[in-house]
Structure 1
Amino acid sequence: MIVYASMTGTTELMAQTIADELIKAGDQVIIKDALAVYAEELQSYERILVGSYTWGDGGLSDEILAFYDELTEVDLTGKVAAAFGSGDSTYEQFARAVDLLEEALQNQGCTILTKGLKVDSGLEDEVEIELKCRGFVNRLIGMLSA
């Protein structure tokens, strides 16, 4: 399952690119906007990817706050997960939402497959972002087959 929050479309592009690459690799993927999912739904999936843009200097986006709060109440022991998102490198805490999501997933019992993917929405174009997402999926697949 892929859950994401996006305001400008960058994190949505990331989520869709990741989903497309996983589907090409033979996975079945459910992708949902964070506003349309409850964290307890994650218990039905073996693999979890969560993405959000970072608001301001290191905060979670409003669109993912309710999901994040619910996430801290859900037991995800035995699941594998990773986080992704966009940010602005002019801020001291670049794309910190990725770190917060990764930490929350780990705290709820997930094994983190690979370091979270961060892209700079102000500096990277769509092609660069898609390339980074493909590399992220390759790392995920590599960790799953190890």
Structure 2
Amino acid sequence: MAEMFSTLGTWNWLIFGFVLMALELSAPGIFLFWLGLAALLVGLVSFAIHPSWQTQLLMFAVFAAAAVPLWRHFAKSATSVSESNPFLNRRTEALIGRVFTLEKPIVDGTGTVRIDDTIWRVAGPDTPAGSRVRVVQADGASLTVTAA
């Protein structure tokens, strides 16, 4: 076993790093990417200095452990982008609580309302056209309204 470790070299680490990153493509989850990055760093450091196999394994462990806080930092900054626009990809949820004017009356529980340049189907109690209604629930492309 020690003989196997003693043959570790720059190319072994670089190949190991690329294999881990390739595995990340087949099983996405970001975990193998950071281990692959740690292996690539060990390989690059091994080009400059020629450490013993024990030092190489220690460097890999340190780089892999340092990758966890780095990953959390990047993941946190990625979620803060969506926090600046909380209704991104959830347009209907942004309509809840807003008041609009009915374009067509609600008859037998259905009618329409114009929101910006889109006509939305609304459901609610029978109400004449031109009445103000408040959106209380959004379900797909249909809004539930009440009198405002």
Normalising by structure 1, report the TM-score: 0.28
Normalising by structure 2, report the TM-score: 0.28
Q: Which has the larger radius of gyration?
A: 2
Kindly indicate whether structure 1 or structure 2 has the higher relative contact order, using CA contacts under 8 Å at least 6 residues apart.
1
- Which structure features the higher share of helix residues? 2
